Structure 1
Amino acid sequence: MGMFVMCMFYRGEKQRLEAWSRPVIVKGPLGIVSAMELACLLMFVALLVYSFSTYLSISFSKLKPGQNPMWQAKLSSVALRFGLVGNVCAAFLFIPVARGSVLLQVLGIGNEAGVKYHIWLGHITMTLFTAHGLSYSILFAAGHKLELLGDWEKTGVSIVAGVVALSAGIVMWVTTLKQIRERMFELFYYAHHLYFVFILFYVLHVGAFFFTMILPGVYLFLIDRFLRFLQSRRKVRLISSRILPCETVELTFTKQPGLKYNPLSMVFVNVPSISSLQWHPFTVTSNSKMEVDKLSVVVKSEGSWSRRLFDTVSMAPALEHLDVHIEGPYGPSSCHFLRHDALVLISGGSGITPFMSVVRELVVMSGTLGSPVPSILMICAFRNSDGLSMLDVLLPPSSPSISGLDLRIEAFITRGKPESEGNDRKDKLLRAVWFKPSRSEAPVSAILGPTKSWLWMGAIISSSFVMFLLLLGITERYYVYPIDHNTGDVYPTGAHAMLNVLFVCVSIATMATLAVMWNRRHSPMEMKQIQNLELPTPTTSPSAWSYNADRELESLPQQSLLQATNIHIGARPDLTKMLESYGEASDGSSIGVMVCGPDSMRDEAAAFCSSALAYNFHFESLNFTF
């Protein structure tokens, strides 16, 4: 009886926790927001409102009635408090975008969620800082003292530094607007590198004391950024690529066998021959258990950078070598989707790529005795029949079978009709391109070693901060104090702030470099000779399945992708109807719904999962926004 009560209590607690993860807002400027996210956001806004109102009530109480003019005194107080509350937001601003942060993994914050929270914090921060600067501009204009905007006091607040910091922030803010970011991604990408200008002049504006308010978040971000810089300097070994008919290319790299990562992980890729500065994120399609020495990504030519990459790789056999740099992989700390009894994977176009690693993980689990494997319903939509070739890379060439996996694929071709059988089928074949190795290349590896990276990260944070405190203490005692004697009126405020920034950078660079060098020295030999062995490559695209070309059903394994796939021509998936019918057949079991596709597809699925009837559906969006 006691055990029964405990089980019922656990089930009730689990259902209540899962209810907090259900979407409560589907459409709007905030995107798709769960109950937990909304509650945290409201609490954070309440904190800001409370801080602002408390600051104002105290400052207004100190104003003298005879002060003239009173509105200017109040506006000055309001302007100052806008800046103080903005500091509270800035303290959290950089934490969600520290990609390799252990803190994010502990909190279970993925890449998409981290970017979303960063966007929220960025909007709030820049609104407060803009109001701060605008209020002071009105005061200066009213007092005919606009020349003060160019003032740089030796001690105290530097106004011109604040103007520069705010200007850099506004440029970053404006270019994040969806209309600009989607149409002019390169403008958004390069403008966002002004964050360094923003931080530097922010510190010069507020001084060392207020810099300590945002130091923890900035410190974690700078450590992560420097480690990514060290990792990005190494060229990685690109083995081969597979060119798909839908103008998509799969890139396969060698990786250190000890490097483990979970499904839905991502890497940032840089190809210097295309752009030496641009880094683009891609989800890892390979599985570290199935392919112990390889890592793959799939890139669809949807923008100028990816188009140039596709054209470059398609030059083979004229192209014999391609330099590539990689940062990552970054990803969730666990396979959270395994807690469900069934999975519904919904994708549009290239949105199918994150689910390749999920399917491969389940294929591995299906071959392990005693491992419960969720059933899978994959709903994928493509514009034309060529898009079906994306299913050819759903599994690696060495493991084409899905035997033991309960997988059903509903593929929708929204435009056009299957091409006639008389067309040239050579255009439908996947083509493999092999690249020659170079001695300067290395396998993809974790920057802090394949194991216990969290321990190394903790060591870097603690040791570098101790070094920072020592450098700061020695300088304050033997250099600043003899000049200033703690009065704050002699030693320049800007120079004092710059010393803090310099010591932070030196401490992080020193300790992070030592940790990376130690790991490389004591790790197994990575620069082993890599033989250029060809892998078996599919010769027919699934786009030929609709007219039974080149492959017969009897020649495939019993549970082949062909048997598991239903193709719908000239139709769009009715997600609401399909999810309803799938839920009715599930008999109340837990169903995870993962979506990566257009906003309309994501919103429709989220709207269904937020309804009262879908109590056993658990929604997750994988639409990465960068």
Structure 2
Amino acid sequence: LRATWLAQVLPLDQNIQFHQLMGYVVVGLSLVHTVAHVVNFALQAQSDTSPFQFWELLLTTRPGIGWVHGLASPTGVALLLLLLLMFACSSPCVRRSGYFEVFYWTHLSYLAMWLLLILHGPNFWKWLLVPGILFFLEKAFGLTVSRMAALSIVEVNLLPSKVTHLLIKRPPLFHYRPGDYLYLNIPTIARYEWHPFTISSAPEQKDTIWLHIRSQGQWTNRLYEFFKASDPANCGPKRLSRSLTMRRSQRMPQDLQP
């Protein structure tokens, strides 16, 4: 999209900031929504005409509140707990302290939250239908393309400050501009993890794509240590950098998915 006219209309480079802002809004409104229901349940439980206690209104299906078999209250509690867990694990102290996997896997709980929201409210599925279909089509398309266009690492240079320099064979139809980034998946390092990295090579470089990856978290450290262990003979302290050219070593991650 950055190569189209939409880049002049939409703030594409501020998508992360907008995503974070929406996260704060969702958490804030969810807390207001929850507090309102808790107060309402407390008032109902104090009424002489109410056959239910407070905990029954809040945690059970007995009152029959909700779209599916009175699941509004239990699913609401589960949704709030998942949302707060996702929010806590998205904080900078988690993401930037070597625990990216915690942030990544807790963020995937949005799938469980969608299911709970369908059970929680009678109209949520109507709002989810169209964007949900588009979302899953986009995910399916991306997964299909990544499986069909698996690439290979041509060369690896281990640089000072624990920087891993990857040279990746460039596909014929892969186009990019300076400053663009790609999502990288190396199954040997972590089969289901995708990490964004800025492309450091110039677009005019036709044969390879360059990535310079500094070791700052679990995944990037595992990447560096993997290639370091692949050639221990050349890892003396006097060498500022070393190069590994991939040939027939079965230990090297042959399939790469950008």
- Normalising by the smaller structure, the TM-score range is 0.7 to 0.9
Report what 2:181 is aligned to.
266
RMSD: 3.3
- CA deviations 1:400-424 (Å, max 9, x no partner) are xxxxxxxxxxxxxxxxxxxxxxxx9
Contact 1:176 1:188 in 2 (8 A): yes
1:110 has 2:23 as partner: no
Aligned CA distance change for structure 1 residues 154 and 114 (closer, same or farther; 3 Å):
closer
1:237 has 2:152 as partner: yes
Aligned CA distance change for structure 1 residues 106 and 202 (closer, same or farther; 3 Å):
farther
Report the Cα distance in structure 2 between the residues aligned to 1:171 and 1:248, rounded to whole angstroms: 32
1:127 has 2:28 as partner: yes
Question: Quick one: which of 83, 107, 126 aligns to 1:212?
Answer: 126
Report what 1:171 is aligned to.
85
Report what 1:431 is aligned to.
242
1:302 counterpart SS class: coil
Report the Cα distance in structure 2 between the residues aligned to 1:293 and 1:435, rounded to whole angstroms: 15
Q: How many equivalent residue pairs?
A: 237
Report the Cα distance in structure 2 between the residues aligned to 1:195 and 1:148, rounded to whole angstroms: 26
By how many angstroms is 1:140 displaced?
Answer: 1.2
- What amino acid sits opposite 1:109 in the alignment? P
1:241 counterpart SS class: strand
Structure 1 alignment gaps of length 5 or more: 1-98, 320-423, 446-626
Contact 2:117 2:124 in 1 (8 A): no
Question: Quick one: which of 247, 251, 256 aligns to 2:171?
Answer: 256
Contact 2:66 2:120 in 1 (8 A): no
Q: What are the residue-to-residue correspondences of 1:119-518 with 2, within 5 Å? A: 119-144=20-45, 145-149=54-58, 150-151=60-61, 155=67, 158-159=71-72, 160-183=74-97, 184-207=99-122, 209-233=123-147, 235-288=150-203, 290-317=204-231, 426-428=238-240, 430-436=241-247
Aligned CA distance change for structure 1 residues 229 and 180 (closer, same or farther; 3 Å):
same
Stretches of 4+ moved more than 4 A in 1?
A: 102-106, 152-157, 214-217, 440-445
2:230 counterpart SS class: coil
By how many angstroms is 1:213 displaced?
Answer: 3.1
Identity over aligned pairs, percent? 23
- CA deviations 1:401-451 (Å, max 9, x no partner) are xxxxxxxxxxxxxxxxxxxxxxx99423x322111269x967878xxxxxx
By how many angstroms is 1:205 displaced?
Answer: 1.3
Contact 1:137 1:146 in 2 (8 A): no
Aligned CA distance change for structure 1 residues 216 and 313 (closer, same or farther; 3 Å):
same
Report the Cα distance in structure 2 between the residues aligned to 1:431 and 1:108, rounded to whole angstroms: 43
By how many angstroms is 1:180 displaced?
Answer: 3.1
- CA deviations 1:580-611 (Å, max 9, x no partner) are xxxxxxxxxxxxxxxxxxxxxxxxxxxxxxxx
- CA deviations 1:314-373 (Å, max 9, x no partner) are 223479xxxxxxxxxxxxxxxxxxxxxxxxxxxxxxxxxxxxxxxxxxxxxxxxxxxxxx
Aligned CA distance change for structure 1 residues 314 and 425 (closer, same or farther; 3 Å):
closer
By how many angstroms is 1:272 displaced?
Answer: 2.5
Report the Cα distance in structure 1 between the residues aligned to 2:238 and 2:66, rounded to whole angstroms: 73
Aligned CA distance change for structure 1 residues 114 and 216 (closer, same or farther; 3 Å):
farther
- What amino acid sits opposite 2:15 in the alignment? G
Whichever of the two has the greater Rg, that structure is 1
Calculate the TM-score normalised by the size of structure 1: 0.34
